[in-house]
Structure 1
Amino acid sequence: MASDHILFIHGVNTREVREQPQYADQLFQRLQEGVSNDKRDLNKIALYWGDVNKSAEDDLLKQLQASSFWEQMWFRTFREQQILQFAGDAALYISRHVGSKVINRLKTQAFEGLKNAQPDDCLHLVTHSWGTVILFDILFARRWDDPKIPGHEDVMAIRDAIYGIGPHQQEGLKIASIHTLGSPIAIFTLTNIVPGKDGIDSPSTHDITPELQKLLESLYVARNHKKLPWRNYIHLGDPIAYPLKELMTNLVDGDTKYLDIQDVITQEPAFLDFLTAQSVFSLAQGGKAHGSYFTSNKVVQEISGVLKKEAPMFTQS
């Protein structure tokens, strides 16, 4: 019996306590319960990179707190926990020095989780927050293509393990669905284009578009011309979550041929939510909203539904 490997990658919790290595345990258990009648064989692969950057961010925070003005500044908790964690992880990962350490950690964990994988198994990606940006950068960005840079070999090994991406594109596990939780990847598509000579824009080395398009085209053929399910989950109070359906359709699937992408709201807003939606109080609660996806009933329902529906009969490579 083929297995469904569910690969989780966390983002930034932006609350008092960072994500812990057990961050996906509850969600995975509920997914197992949700598909138990189908007798599906689910394998959890929970990637954890949350402690790689922590010491550098702690040092920065100590220097900020040493300023005589720090105690006078507004929204100190918001700055220390939400802004610093999110922006700090972004800045540190973008640097190849720290980024290569994160990638090496993720490769080691992913390969351990997939050591018993078979060619006809399926891979489902469940990415949270900044974890979406990290994984898409590893899989699709050209900035890792230079053999001389730190992280190149690890990135190529990861890509080679997934069908339609690496040098051996007809080998590796096939992605069967994508689930993005509180994803800011819409913002980071702004890095895709840089000014070129004579005012003509050219692709950036951070651009994920060409390689993502190649993956979708390959999977479309391998899936017997079935669209790839992509669910993008949004808590309305999460300041880091953005809609993706129109954006991704325009970027990589203008003919709506390859993707079944849907934005999914994870909660029904109550009446009082409309009264506070644009307030500072609402923004201060954004960290709670951003960390809510792993316990969301709607997320469990949607992913379980995709798992039950998606038993794709892949063509033989």
Structure 2
Amino acid sequence: MATDHILFIHGVNTREQREQPTYPNQLIGHIKKLIDDPNNLKTIPLYWGDVNIESEQYLMSKVARPGSRWHELWFQNTRQNTILHFMGDAALYISRSVGSKIVEKLKEQVRKGLENASQSDRLHLVSHSWGTFILFDILFAARWKDSNILGHDSAMAIRGCFRGLEPNPDEGIRIASIHTMASPIAIFSLLDIVKGEDQAKGFSELTEKQAEQRASHDITPNLKQLVANSRDKPDSNKLPWLNYLHPADPIAWPLDPLIYSLVDGLKRNIEVQDIIIKLSFVESLMQPFSQTALVMLLYGGQAHESYLHSVQVAQKIVLTIQQTRNLGLGSRD
């Protein structure tokens, strides 16, 4: 019997000083309570949050040295923890050296998590916030194809675990569903802007080589390849992609219909749904003030983390798993 694997990846500002990450535990608990066969479910929580600690400590040793103007600034704790963790995680991943360390760390976790998976099993991706960008960048961005850069071998090893991606598109586990929470992918579609500019000027679609040279972080060519290659036949069932948005989360952006405009023909093979998280009673009371900056400052961070505790998200993930089981997605029998 095929097994359903759920791979989780967290976003910025996640620091855990323990061997096994716990950030998705509450969501996993909800899923296991709701699913009809929890014993046929394997969870794989990835963790990369500690890779940047050394770089952050170095930065603070320089900025907050004795006699520095740092000591005259307000909100030092917020700057050093919340803001540095948010901005630092994003900036350091884009850098070649730290980004490669994250890829290396995730490689070992992905390979270990999927070491006993069969090609008839199904994989469900669940990503939060900046983790969506990291995962999609590793799987799809053109920059990792360059064999001369740090992280190339690790990125290719990760891609080799997924059916539909080079270097072994006919091997690996099939992705049965995608779940993105607080996804910034819409914002990072700007990395594909060169394609839009060229089309606006009347030029044809960029070749793969041109895309790699002009937009090394562009995820769209390999995303299109994965979706096309992972279908058994052109008229097979569409890959479900659920994108969860809390109304008060400033990082969350809708993907429908944007994602279809980025990848030509994607609508034939994938179905994107934007899911609005239902407001609690207390949250609904704040709705008349929802467009004010004060509400965003007071509640935006809490809303951004809420997905990992949401029963609604768990219900949607479970429903998708059951639907892909019934449709036989992933099976190669």
Report the TM-score when normalising by structure 1: 0.89
Q: CA deviation at 1:146?
A: 1.3
1:186 is matched by which residue type in structure 2? A
Assess if the C-alpha contact under 8 Å between 1:224 and 1:315 holds in 2. no
1:18 is matched with 15
Residue matched to 1:60? 59
Deviation of 1:18 after TM superposition, in Å, equals 3.3
Go from structure 1 to structure 2 and tell me whether the alpha carbon gap of 1:64 and 1:222 turns closer, same or farther (over 3 Å shift): farther
Letter in 2 for 1:265: I
Task: Report Cα offsets for 1:99-155 as digits up to 9, x if no partner.
Answer: 111111111011111111111000110011111111101100111111121111111
Q: Tell me the number of residue pairs that the alignment of Structure 1 and Structure 2 aligns.
A: 312
TM superposition shift of 1:81: 3.7
SS at match of 1:88: helix
Q: What is residue 45 of structure 2 aligned with on the other side?
A: 46
How many angstroms apart in 2 are the aligned matches of 1:254 and 1:162?
A: 21
2:121–2:331 contact (8 Å) kept in structure 1: no
Give 1:167 deviation, angstroms. Answer: 1.8
Give the whole-Å Cα distance in 2 for the aligned partners of 1:107 and 1:217.
24
Give the deviation of 1:41 after TM superposition. 0.7
Aligned to 1:98: 98
3-state DSSP class of the match of 1:292? helix
Alpha-carbon distance in structure 2 between the residues aligned to 1:19 and 1:184: 23
- Most deviating of 305-314 and 48-57: 305-314
2:27/2:311 contact within 8 Å kept: no
CA contact (8 A) 2:224 2:266 kept: no
The alignment's TM-score, normalised by the length of structure 2, stands at 0.85
In the alignment, is the contact (CA less than 8 A) between 1:6 and 1:126 conserved in 2? yes
Alignment of 1:68-147 (within 5 A): 69-70=69-70, 73=73, 78-147=78-147
Q: In the TM superposition, what are the counterparts of 1:1-317 in structure 2 within 5 Å?
A: 1-13=1-13, 18=15, 21-35=21-35, 37-38=36-37, 41-66=40-65, 69-70=69-70, 73=73, 78-194=78-194, 203=211, 204-221=215-232, 225-252=236-263, 256-268=267-279, 269-311=283-325, 312-313=327-328, 314=330, 316=332
Structure 2 CA distance for aligned equivalents of residues 245 and 227 of structure 1 = 15
Give per-residue Cα distances to partners, 1:44-87, cap 9 Å, x unaligned. 11000100002212332454445754455566555444432222
The change in CA–CA distance for 1:27 and 1:253 in structure 2 (over 3 A counts) is: farther
294-303 or 267-276, which deviates more: 267-276
> How far is 1:6 from its partner?
0.4
1:261 and 1:156 map into 2 onto residues whose CA distance is 27
Spell out, residue by residue over 1:240-269, the C-alpha distance to the aligned partner (whole angstroms, 9 max, x if none).
111112211211255621111111112325
Could you list the structure 1 runs, at least 4 aligned residues long, displaced by more than 6 angstroms after superposition: none
1:193-245 Cα distance to aligned partner (Å, 9 max, x none): 45999x98963011100110111112233596111111111112212111112
Q: Distance in 2 between matches of 1:174 and 1:222?
A: 14
Give distance in 2, aligned partners of 1:284 and 1:65: 27
Structure 2 residues without counterparts, runs of 5 or longer: none
Preserved CA contact (<8 Å) 2:120 2:332: no
Provide closer, same or farther for how the CA distance between residues 278 and 19 of structure 1 changes in structure 2, counting only shifts above 3 A: farther
Partner Cα separation in structure 2 for residue 182 and residue 159 of structure 1: 24
**Residues 1:223 and 1:47: Cα distance change in structure 2 (over 3 Å):** farther
Mapped contact 1:232–1:261 kept (Cα < 8 A): yes
Residue identity (%):
46
Judged with a 3 Å threshold, the aligned counterparts in structure 2 of structure 1 residues 255 and 139 are, in CA distance, closer, same or farther, namely: closer
Contact 2:162 2:172 in 1 (8 A): yes
